[in-house]
């Protein structure tokens, strides 16, 4: 089961300063988290993020996982362990969980509270692909395939649906009627052609005509094809 957790505004501590730490830092920044990276050395990417004032850094050579976690103030919502010392990673994960933190270990899904699926990003669309940790490389390949499948028409349809849903909630109280209107717009061939050609404003106009009919009388749905084609 894949669940999209909301990390906006959450405090995340990432232990480790290498390339994997950098990738996870970018993911949490993209989610709107506040990030502290702790390590005795930092990659150039992490240093650049710090120079841009996007993250905080703490230079430290951690020897004891319990002591490090106990001295963290405030305690993070999430602790990411990304060091090259497996034993230290296990220590940090164990004591962070005892302190009430969620944990992600880059080298051990079995002690992690969640996974990082491969994430396809096309416009505002996000599609997660997971192989349950069996093949991260294949997850990336599948992600690339999916990214090629999403078209500009799809993205414009999402934009149109978002616009329409906001209006429907204001004008039509019956959820069943709203659903009919949404799917009529989604499946309308005229609107599809307009969006395929990038003519969003014209598609929006056709969608509004459909909404007007639904607003007056749901039964008019049966005669809508004449005005939309």
- pLDDT tens digits along 145-176: 988 899 999 999 999 999 999 998 888 888 88
Residue 22 domain-assigned (yes or no): yes
Are residues 168 and 133 part of one domain? no
137 and 194 both lie in a single domain: no
pLDDT tens digits, residue range 187-229? Answer: 999 999 999 999 999 999 999 999 888 877 654 444 444 445 5
What is the percentage of the chain residues whose pLDDT exceeds 70?
Answer: 93
pLDDT for residue 1: 64
Same domain, 47 and 111: yes
In a domain, 66, yes or no: yes
Percent of the chain with pLDDT over 90: 63
How far apart CA 150 and CA 54 sit, in angstroms, is 31
Do 77 and 18 belong to one domain? yes
Distances from the Cα of 2 to the Cαs of 26, 100, 118, 130, 222, in angstroms? Answer: 20, 22, 11, 8, 39
For residues 20 and 75, membership in a common domain is answered with: yes
122 found inside a domain: yes
Tell me: do 19 and 101 sit in the same domain.
Answer: yes
The answer on 71 and 86 residing in a single domain is yes
- In a domain, residue 4? The reply is no
Domain count, the chain: 3
Q: What is the pLDDT of residue 185?
A: 94
Residue 3 lies inside a defined structural domain of this protein: no
1 belongs to a structural domain? no
Domain enclosing residue 128, as ranges: 117-150
- Decide if 205 is inside a domain: yes
40 and 83 co-located in one domain:
yes
C-beta separation of 160 from 186 below 8 A? no
Q: What is the pLDDT of residue 222?
A: 44
- The answer to whether the predicted template modeling score (pTM) of the entire model surpasses 0.85 is no
Q: What is the CATH number of the domain that holds 83?
A: 3.40.50.720
**Domain match, 89 and 161 both:** no
Task: Please check whether residue 2 lies inside any domain of the structure.
Answer: no
Looking at the fold, whether 157 and 212 belong to one and the same domain comes out as: yes
Does one domain contain both 162 and 77?
no
Query: Are residues 112 and 17 part of one domain?
Result: yes
Query: Which of 116, 139, 161 lies at the terminal end of a domain, its last residue?
Result: 116
Q: Which of 66, 94, 116 is the last residue of a domain?
A: 116
């Amino acid at each position: 089961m894949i669940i999209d957790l909301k990390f906006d505004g959450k405090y995340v501590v990432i232990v480790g300063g290498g390339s994997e730490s950098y990738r996870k830092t970018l993911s949490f920044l993209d989610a709107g988290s506040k990030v502290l990276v702790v390590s005795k050395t930092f990659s150039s990417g992490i240093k650049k993020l710090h120079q841009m004032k996007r993250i905080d850094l703490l230079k430290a050579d951690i020897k004891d996982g319990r002591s490090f976690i106990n001295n963290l103030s405030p305690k993070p919502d999430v602790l990411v362990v990304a060091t090259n010392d497996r034993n230290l990673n296990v220590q940090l994960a164990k004591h962070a969980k005892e302190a009430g933190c969620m944990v992600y270990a880059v080298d051990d899904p079995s002690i992690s509270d969640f996974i990082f699926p491969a994430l396809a990003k096309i416009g505002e669309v996000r599609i997660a692909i997971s192989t349950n940790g069996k093949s991260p490389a294949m997850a990336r390949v599948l992600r690339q395939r999916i990214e090629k499948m999403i078209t500009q028409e799809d993205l414009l349809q999402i934009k149109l649906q978002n616009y329409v849903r906001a209006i429907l909630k204001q004008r039509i109280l019956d959820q069943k009627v709203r659903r009919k209107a949404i799917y009529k717009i989604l499946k309308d061939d005229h609107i599809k052609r307009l969006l395929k050609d990038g003519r969003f404003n014209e598609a929006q106009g056709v969608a509004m005509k459909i909404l007007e009919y639904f607003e007056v009388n749901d039964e008019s749905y049966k005669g809508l094809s004449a005005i939309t084609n």
